[in-house]
Amino acid sequence: MKYFSLNKQSANVDFREATILGQAPDKGLYFPESIPQHGFTSVESLQGLSPEEIGFRVMKPYVDPMIPDAELKRIIRETLSFDIPLVRINENISSLELYHGPTLAFKDVGARFMSRCLGYFSREKKEKIIVLVATSGDTGGAVADGFHGVEGVEVVIFYPSGKVSPVQELQLTTYEGNIHALEVQGDFDACQKIVKQAFADAELKDQLFLTSANSINVARWLPQQMYYFLALQQWKEKELPVVCVPSGNFGNICAGMMAWRSGLPIKHFVAACNANDVVTQYLLSGVYKSATAIPTISNAMDVGDPSNFVRILNIFDQSYPQLKEQISSYSITDAETEETIAKVYNDHNYLLDPHGAVAYAALERYLDVNSGFKGMILETAHPVKFPGSVEKILGRSLEYPPQVEKIRNKEKKSTLIKPVYQDVKDFLLSAYLH
């Protein structure tokens, strides 16, 4: 597979180059030249296959010929090393639980796949690859866990001091070895700004091989398709499902659309948004207007200008009518999100996290006006990662799953740093220039 830049100003590259670069030199996002058909065109066609077999068939065309089959199989086995069950909440709505991985969020899938690809590609490189990542909470943990112990790769995580949940902070700061947490005395935007400055710094890039692990990287984006196939494999209803995805940067839902374009039978997509509703507005008006992010209780979706939106347009050949036919979108308030957590817990004894609750509320709205349909939400994080709103509603504290128990008593290791670029640059050079 070759990948082209959506800005059309850079040369096409193979999977290896796309993974190492992240973004094309013309600042465009990479997109595969063609969308392969896997033959998974019905629920029946998926029966009797292991997750590894399905994952391998889905990913091989995207990776070929840059990773040998045996290696790719190993990468997929290690990526899908936890359960992804489809659980029925009520008669019409099921939940694809993507939070049973090591950092309790769906980002584990993309991060684990990407880290192992980069580890494989770094074997041929003399110098170390240094991954810089800014996080508001979830990404950093998944990247830390995914890359921990991967040889030839060092990871530097920038997170906003005091602005991540206790579980998230544990997941950022208790890895050692090749993972380094920089606790920035500023907000997420300050973290992101520093990382952008580093990538724009020619002098620094001359001395260190830098890359990013953000969600635009094809090696993080494309493997997310795998669990849409695993979801359909578990689908028991006669009617095909409406799939509702809580969306921020729209990488996850965009991966689902790639799966659908590859033949996977999905009836319709619902993009669930919180107050950050640029895509909801776009679907109403046909006009895309980016905005500054508004803080909400589903904060991993607080994005004002979703980076993967250009990929979605490309999937639909820039056609607004085609896109509108396949996707609906609803914007859900914080109050509705909290009501939904309480209602679903009281009525169905099922505990949603705020992101899953946004999806549940959005899917309910869609099903209200499309009777007879059934659907699933992608539950993207474990409630314990967002205890603030969940514990308030339950009136008790949540139990920690084993993934957290394991790191709970570990010592926090982070470097406190001011949001000053020169300080960060000095740190990077002294740590990694040998």
Judge whether 267 counts as a catalytic residue: no
300 binds ligand PLP (CB under 6 A): yes
Stretch that binds ligand PLP, among 37-45, 242-250, 273-281, 415-423 (CB under 6 A): 242-250
Q: Tell me how far, at minimum, the Cβ of 154 lies from ligand PLP, in Å.
A: 23
Which of 101, 160, 251, 383 touches ligand PLP (CB under 6 A)? 251
Residue from the set 122, 135, 233, 247 that interacts with ligand PLP by CB under 6 A: 247
By CB under 6 A, name the one of 97, 108, 138, 145 that touches ligand PLP.
138
Q: How many beta carbons lie within 10 A of that of residue 430, not counting itself?
A: 8
Query: From CA 324, how far away is CA 371, in angstroms rounded?
Result: 19
CA distance 68 to 76: 12
* The binder of ligand PLP chosen from 18, 240, 297, 301 (CB under 6 A): 301
> What span, in angstroms and rounded, lies between the C-alpha atoms of 389 and 170?
19
Identify the residue among 150, 156, 381, 384 touching ligand PLP (CB under 6 A). Answer: 381
Interface residue with ligand PLP among 23, 79, 249, 328 (CB under 6 A) is 249
| DSSP code of residue 380 | -
- Tell the smallest beta-carbon distance from residue 344 to ligand PLP (Å): 17
Touching ligand PLP, residues 354-373 (CB under 6 A): 355
Least separation in angstroms between residue 250's CB and ligand PLP is 5
- Interface stretch with ligand PLP, choices 241-249, 389-397, 401-409, 424-432 (CB under 6 A): 241-249
Which distant-in-sequence residues (6+ apart) come within 8 Å of 97 by Cβ? Answer: 83, 84, 85, 86, 87, 379
Q: Residue 217, interface with ligand PLP (CB under 6 A)?
A: no
Q: Give the nearer residue to ligand PLP in terms of CB position, either 138 or 277.
A: 138
Does the protein bind ligand PLP through residue 250 (CB under 6 A)?
A: yes
Residue 57: CB atoms within 10 Å: 17
Minimum CB distance to ligand PLP smaller for 178 or for 329: 329
301-336 burial, b for 16+ CB within 10 Å, e for fewer?
A: bbbeebbbbbbbbebbeeeeeebeebbbbbbbebeb
The pair of structure tokens assigned to 293 is 């992010």
DSSP letters for 224-267: GGHHHHHHHHT---SSPPEEEEE-SSSHHHHHHHHHHHTT----
**Cβ of residue 70: shortest distance to ligand PLP, in angstroms?**
30
* Binding residue for ligand PLP, selected from 6, 72, 86, 105, defined by CB under 6 A: 105
Integer Cα distance of 420 and 184 in angstroms = 9
Q: How many residues bind ligand PLP (CB under 6 A)?
A: 16
Contact call for residue 299 and ligand PLP (CB under 6 A): no
Considering beta carbons, is residue 15 or 106 the nearer one to ligand PLP? Answer: 106
Is 256 an interacting residue with respect to ligand PLP (CB under 6 A)? no
The DSSP letter of residue 214 is: S
State how far the alpha carbon of 261 is from the alpha carbons of 109, 273, 314, 352, in Å. Answer: 21, 23, 12, 29
Near ligand PLP by CB under 6 A: residue from 103, 115, 192, 215: 215
Q: Tokens at residue 151, please?
A: 């040889």
User: Contact between 248 and ligand PLP (CB under 6 A)?
Assistant: yes
- Among the listed ranges 58-66, 177-185, 196-204, 249-257, the one in contact with ligand PLP (CB under 6 A) is 249-257
Q: Give residue for tokens 């700004």.
A: 193
Minimum CB–partner distance for residue 390 and ligand PLP (Å): 13
Residue 68 and residue 326 in contact, taking contact as beta carbons nearer than 8 Å:
no
d(CA 103, CA 209): 27
Instruction: Report the sign of the C-alpha dihedral through residues 70, 175, 97, 251, in that order.
Output: negative
Task: Show contacts with ligand PLP in window 12-71 (CB under 6 A).
Answer: none
Q: Which helix (H) or strand (E) holds 272?
A: strand 268-273
Q: Give the binding range for ligand PLP (CB under 6 A) out of 144-152, 247-255, 311-319, 389-397.
A: 247-255
- The residue from 2, 27, 107, 196 that is catalytic is 107
Contact residue for ligand PLP among 79, 171, 252, 403 (CB under 6 A): 252
At which residue do the structure tokens 């740093």 appear?
417
Sheet holding 30-32, edge to edge: 13-14, 2-5, 30-32
Phi, psi of 73 (to 5 degrees): -60, -40
Give the residues lining the site for ligand PLP (CB under 6 A): 105, 107, 138, 215, 246-252, 300-301, 355, 380-381
Could you give the residue numbers annotated as active site? 107
